[in-house]
Chains A and B, each alone.
Chain A
Amino acid sequence: MDKLGQEWVSAAVDGEIDEHTLAELAADADSHEQWRDYHMIGDAMRGELPKTMSLDLSASIMAAIEDEPAIVAPQPAAEVSQPVRKSSGKIIPLFKQFGQYAIAASVALVAVVGVQNYNQETLVESSPLPVLNTRPLIGSASPVSLQTGAVQQNQSYTNDQVADQRRRINAYIQDHMLQQRLNNGVNIDDNSEADTTPVAQ
């Protein structure tokens, strides 16, 4: 590769040679590398380089071409694997569709329930009206409440009161038992559940 040869290739890159020399250059394998380098230098100076580039394209293409026949045999296998991919890819959309149907169905359900509730509410609201209308005929509410109060005082205990009493006794006993644990140095009292069955009263 002499200096003269380099200039010759450089002139070819710039398109300053005739077709005959160009054909000669194509036949000269040694100059191919320089031809490519000059083109790249030119591209770099004009700012036309791709962002990524393979620096030895010709070699990689040659390698790819040489590998080509070897791929012929595994091709069916590659085709087999493709459908698998396709089906797995399809599963997600399938579920998505179901989800969408389910959501749509539930929305419909809510809509139905909502309508039913709405209907019931209107029914309930409409029903007390006659009762309200009849009330003034019976009399005002205040004597009734007075009377019930008097009845409660006369009765010994209502169920609610007995339940309340029991609840409060339990609260005191539970607290007493807890305090035995908290009060340092104070003794006994079991961890037992409060059994408030009265023996004597």
Chain B
Amino acid sequence: MRLILLAILAMSFPAMAREDMPAKAWLENMSQALREQEFKISLIQLQSDHIRPLVYIHGKVNDQEVAFLEHLNGPPKNAVRVGNTVTFIEHDQPAYSVHSSRIQGVIPAALADDVSKLEEGYQFVLGGRSRIAGRPGQLVRIIPTDTNRYGYQVWLDMDTYLPLRFDMISVDKQLLEQLLVVELLVLDEVPAILKEAYKQEWPAVMSQSDRDSGEDWQFSWLPAGFKVLIKDQHRLIGSKEAVEYIAISDGLANISVYVAKAGEAPLPEELVIRNGLSLATERVGNAEVVAVGKVPAETLSRIAKSIMLQ
């Protein structure tokens, strides 16, 4: 017991120097670690009644970031990233590549990006320390500046700054989604699988040039920090229904707004889906505006109401 206490004491000494490090510096260090270190993390993703085990391996081959994400349960579902190309390999469709700087699906891309982009909508506050995955962790709260979005908590490994736990929390402090690392291995050299992935020929990046530019939609109101990323016209993947599409984001929360011909049965005005995703509908004449995203349903409803054609 004393040995353990001594060990904890010994471990806390190098951390002393980090005592006065502000929360933002912690996040910046994490961003850098996610981009530059070579590591393998085994983690689980918790979403109400869903638990998914995943493995994420990251490294650098010939100065290019190479990453590999694997779903461990169920049918094979993998993603490979080489440089700025991400290839999704799934059982139900042929592999396809997209141009992207991160693999979507594990650690939010914003956390490996420039964290100062998040400052318009969130505040960073240093929290306590706890032990996660057998390692000392430092909590950094990412607190929303208003009630239009959810809050986040991230625990960082005090040695490597890599994330150990990531929570999404509702306005009334309920846990919506959690990423929990169960094992973190810092690698001395690039694992063979990443070298293989680097050499492999992946399908060519899907052309985005065929995106029809959409109408000039404007919003009379958007929560602070939210920006329009993309406007286009396309057909929904499942129903082939033609829609006008607008993507907005504040860095962490992404919202899709659709304008389409209203269906026979009206969609629910507000709907909260278990994994933290919400959906809101606003009917305008014979058209409907649908907003989807991981933000409170009231925010989506307000956004759907504020859309207008310039």
Residues of A within 8 A of B (CB): 157, 161-162, 164-165, 167-176, 178-192, 194-201
Contact = CB atoms under 8 A, between A and B. Distances in A.
12 contacts: A172-B256, A172-B292, A175-B258, A179-B230, A180-B254, A182-B206, A187-B251, A188-B105, A192-B50, A195-B275, A197-B274, A201-B272
A190 B292 contact: no
Given A185-B109, A189-B254, A164 B292 contact: no
A62 B297 CA distance: 108
A173 B279 contact: yes
B134 to A, nearest CB: 26
Q: Which of B77, B208, B254 has the most CB of A within 10 A?
A: B254
Given A157-B265, A171-B238, A176-B292, A183 B247 contact: yes
Nearest to B99: A184
Given A184-B99, A187-B104, A161 B264 contact: yes
A184 B100 contact: yes
Contacts of B52: 190, 192
Contacts of A161: 264-265
Give me the 8 closest cross-chain CB pairs, A-B, nearest first: A187-B109, A161-B265, A171-B238, A171-B239, A176-B292, A176-B256, A171-B236, A188-B108
Contacts of A199: 272-274
A188 B265 CA distance: 31
Contacts of B104: 180-181, 186-189, 191
B55 interface: no
Nearest to B249: A186
A201 B280 CA distance: 10
B238 A170 contact: yes
A173 B273 contact: yes
B163 interface: no
Nearest to A158: B265
B299 to A, nearest CB: 15
B279 A175 contact: no
A201 B254 contact: no
B273 A201 contact: no
Contacts, number: 150
Nearest to A162: B265
Contacts of B86: 181
Interface of B: 45, 47, 49-50, 52, 71, 77, 79, 86, 88, 90, 98-102, 104-105, 108-110, 113, 206, 208, 229-230, 236-239, 241, 243, 245, 247, 249, 251-252, 254, 256, 258, 263-268, 270-275, 277, 279, 290, 292-294, 297
B81 to A, nearest CB: 12
A164 to B, nearest CB: 5
A171 B237 contact: yes
B307 to A, nearest CB: 15
A101 B177 CA distance: 67
Contacts of B294: 188-189
A164 B11 CA distance: 58
Contacts of B239: 167-168, 171
Contacts of A186: 104, 109, 229, 247, 249, 254
Given A165-B265, A186-B109, A173 B292 contact: yes
Given A170-B238, A183-B229, A192 B263 contact: no
A157 B249 CA distance: 35
A199 B238 CA distance: 23
Contact of B105 (A167, A169, A189): A189
A189 B109 CA distance: 10
Given A173-B292, A174-B237, A179 B256 contact: yes
Nearest to B177: A190
A199 B49 CA distance: 12
Contact of A190 (B47, B110, B245, B279): B47
A171 B292 CA distance: 11
A115 B20 CA distance: 92
Nearest to B234: A175
